[in-house]
Amino acid sequence: MQRQLKRYHDLLAGLSAMKGAVVAFSGGVDSVFLLHAARQALCERVLAVTVVTPYTPKADSDDARSLAEFMQVRHMILEQPIPNAIATNPANRCYLCKQALFGALAGIAQEEGLEAVLDGSNKDDLDDYRPGMRAVLELGIRSPLLDAGLSKQDIRDLSRELGLPTWNKPAGACLLTRIPHDTPIEMDELLRIDRGEQFLKELGFPAVRLRSHGPLARIELPLESIAACLDPLLREKIDTQLKALGYRYVTVDLAGYRMGSLNLVSPESRPGQ
């Protein structure tokens, strides 16, 4: 913990040197921790902005609203359509999306007279395939958690120490990660995925992905949760509900949850989310 506290103090020192900041605030573990630190370092010179798109899970935007209120920070919801560049869910989707959305955040920072736009990238992101990080660098977005050398585990441990309610929140990702690349994005499909995944979470599976392959729903769960999902009564309930949402076939992926499992089908991609 001493090492982690040292990095946290380094984080606060770096933030304190800024003249104000917009924090890209999703309501996830990293952005909540970053916003807490920015609020501590910058006081009123911080604005949390949550970008809400048709591919943002509704639960995520709801969480962001309630968490910003809990943290007593100034908060803005920025609603954005699906950028034309990603309308077919291309393999470089994350890069194109970050270009558009962080470009909008940079505009807000300029309007508000705030020096920087901050994102929650951390040290572990360097070991993963994160095409969106290239857009972050190109736009001059700052990543204070990464600069302070904080890992995901550091952030979770410090969040718990600081009393932040998200310290053990499962990782999240946008709904486009549930759809194969080079598939035209339909609003009804996004809504079906969101409703289906929320239903599974309410059944007691917080770390779940509902990968959507047209008429087939492929459920990814941590390996230790698969047996519970296959309980006869629960299995029937899941099958009935997902078919009511429009799926013809419902499967459980025996390989379990893997970040970026749909990216594996693209020769241009490596695992992401």
pLDDT of the chain, 273 residues: tens digit per residue: 889 999 999 999 999 999 999 999 999 999 999 999 999 999 999 999 999 999 999 999 999 999 999 999 999 999 999 999 999 999 999 999 999 999 999 999 999 999 999 999 999 887 666 677 788 888 899 999 999 999 999 999 999 999 999 999 998 899 999 999 999 999 999 999 999 999 999 999 999 999 999 999 999 999 999 999 999 999 999 999 999 999 999 999 999 998 766 765 444 444 344
- Separation of alpha carbons 11 and 146, rounded Å: 9
- Could you give all domains of the chain from N- to C-terminal order, each with its CATH number? 2-161 (3.40.50.620), 175-265 (3.30.70)
Global model pTM greater than 0.75: yes
- The H helix count followed by the E strand count for the chain is 10, 7
- Separation of alpha carbons 22 and 25, rounded Å: 9
The neighbouring-strand residues paired with 213 are: 216
Contact 50, 75 (CB under 8 A): yes
Taking the alpha carbons at both ends of the chain, their separation in whole angstroms is: 29
Distances (CA, A) of 237 to 96, 199, 200, 214, 219: 38, 10, 10, 21, 14
b/e burial code for range 76-111 (CB count within 10 A of at least 16 → b): eeeeeebeeebeebbbbbbbbbbbbbbeebbeebee
Q: How many CA atoms lie within 13 A of 183 on its CB side?
A: 20
